[in-house]
A and B are shown apart, each in its own frame.
Chain A
Amino acid sequence: MRSQANPRLMLMILSAVFAFLYIPISVLFALSFNEGGLPTAWTGFSVKWYGELFRNKEIIGAALNTLIVAVVSTLLATMLGTLLAIGVEIRRRKGRFLETIIFAPMIIPDIVLAIALLSFFSMLNVTMGLHTVIVSHVVFNLAFVCSVVRARLKTFDWSIVEASADLGASTPITLWRVVIPVMLPAVIAGALLAFTLSVDEFIIAFFTAGAGRDSITLPMQIFAMIRFGVTPEINALATIVMTLSVIALALSQRLNRGGLPGQ
């Protein structure tokens, strides 16, 4: 493979692609520190737009809502997804149906799941709010946690489970004292991924949050702000959101040496 590639051409391709991927994000990042706030001129370094952000009650409220949604849905999804992963992996018969239902939340278009949940909730006369966003986020979050944990379980040495059973431990004790500790890095990695996805998720939240102002999440707030055009506050907000998800992802990657899902 390496022998036939023209190094200069390869370098050009890589530079061009990385420039395409990173210039837009970097521009945003730089502009958020521009005192004048406009892309037309650099008037000096300033963090005043970040200050504006923290004085904006709507944004702080939306950020708190997002935190609630992400924390609760991550906790639920991590429990359900981990148990599901262990259950699937110790199972001898694995039907295609089972695989499909576990895989589906990751590939189903967001808009379809969003309207399906909206119709479902309103047909059952459920009052929508943060709680409906939370239970909806668990749907795709548990699938992602499950896939991260399953990847780790593939290399799991099941003989230690037998050893634990031989030594007289019941199934729940074996799960709690043997399987879970070995799995912990993957479980945390899955949880971090779920948290990131939940913080960033917009479409499903948009449809299942109901009409009230008090159940607006951060991505919903960002969407509303973007529609009114470019403001320096959005640049600052975007920079914060982006930095946080990258940190969470890097942590998840570090814990889970197997790499990102899909890799």
Chain B
Amino acid sequence: MTDRKSLYLMTPALAWLTGLMVIPCLLILVLAFFRRGIYGGIEYTFTLENIWLVFDPLYAGIFVKSATIAGTSALIAVIVGYAAAYAIAAAPSRRQPMLLFFAVLPFWSNYLVRTYAWIVLLNREGLIASVVHSLGYDGELPRLLYTESAVVVGLVYNYLPFVILACYAPLSRLNPEVIEASRDLGGSGWTTFRRVTLPMTAPGIATGFVFVFVLSIGNFVTPALLGGGQFQMIGNLVYAQFLTANDWPFGAALSMFLIAIMMGLLTLQTFATERASGARKEES
């Protein structure tokens, strides 16, 4: 009875999600196996060409480059974010909620604005350049904006708050007695961190890493704004197929791979988290 009532309540939302998320996403899957029409439309004959085209060195290269940039950003974000979360968890407990709130606050402001802030800092007449020149340096500065590093900085900046949040959760739950036990047994500060704290907070690190990686690899705003016009990541490639090159089937095939990478990583992360929590249960 309750289940029938619950179904009535859920139906409008589930219908909405089916009609405007599930079906459109399935459509993308189907679209990937059709041929591109001569005038940019879609020809409804089955083909695997789009799938093979993804493995073409040109496009596979863009995949690899996107993965490298996403991986670098995720790594930096995890290191910085973990350190920040550790410092917040080590602060007096009444200050922790406020510190956490201010660490996450930028995450909820507009993404474009946050990215634009870096253009203001990095461009040729930007703040960093003026500060350096006002310090007396007259030579030519290396280009800061429209580089791969600018893209990485932008991605780290945008997603860092999430990593702090993800790492803070397990760090704040850490039982201080376990740490003391390790110290009592003769573990140095570093050994205790490496052998006790780090493994016990690994799920937070995994969540943070996967999140930044997944959001970075499909990103097209940050590369478009901080990487400059010629800079391409998968997101930009997909964008181009749909809005300029008009090759929707190939764009669909690219997105399919993007979803596959994302789902694979998320499954891996769920698996790792479950194993970690299972191991912890066995210990206690």
Interface residues of A (CB under 8 A from B): 1-5, 7, 10-11, 13-14, 17-18, 20-25, 27-28, 31, 38-40, 79-81, 83-84, 86-88, 90-93, 101-102, 104-105, 107-113, 115-120, 123, 135-136, 138-139, 142-143, 146, 171, 196, 199-200, 202-203, 207, 219, 222-223, 226-227, 229-230, 234-235, 238, 241-242, 245-246, 249, 253, 260, 262-263
For the complex, give the distance between the alpha carbons of A235 and B42 in Å: 42
What residues on B are CB-neighbors of A143 within 8 Å?
17
Most buried by B among A105, A108, A120, A202: A120
For the complex, give the distance between the alpha carbons of A259 and B218 in Å: 28
Smallest Cβ distance from B41 to chain A, in angstroms?
10
- Given the interface contacts A17-B80, A90-B2, does A260 sit within 8 Å of B90 by beta carbon? no
9 more A-B residue pairs beyond the given contacts A116-B255, A207-B243, with a C-beta to C-beta distance below 8 A: A1-B171, A4-B179, A10-B91, A79-B12, A87-B7, A111-B218, A115-B255, A139-B21, A146-B13
- Given the interface contacts A83-B13, A109-B215, A146-B13, does A5 sit within 8 Å of B106 by beta carbon? no
Q: Is the interface of B mostly helix, strand, loop or mixed?
A: helix
13 contacts between A and B (CB under 8 A): A4-B192, A22-B106, A24-B117, A39-B120, A83-B13, A91-B2, A91-B6, A93-B3, A112-B259, A113-B25, A226-B115, A238-B117, A249-B105
What residues on A are CB-neighbors of B266 within 8 Å?
107
What residues on B are CB-neighbors of A123 within 8 Å?
27
Interface residues of B (CB under 8 A from A): 2-3, 5-10, 12-14, 16-18, 20-25, 27-28, 31, 80, 83-84, 86-92, 99-106, 108-121, 123, 125-127, 130, 157, 160-162, 164-165, 171, 174, 176, 179-180, 183, 189, 192, 214-215, 218-221, 224-225, 235, 238-239, 242-243, 248, 251-252, 255, 258-259, 262, 266
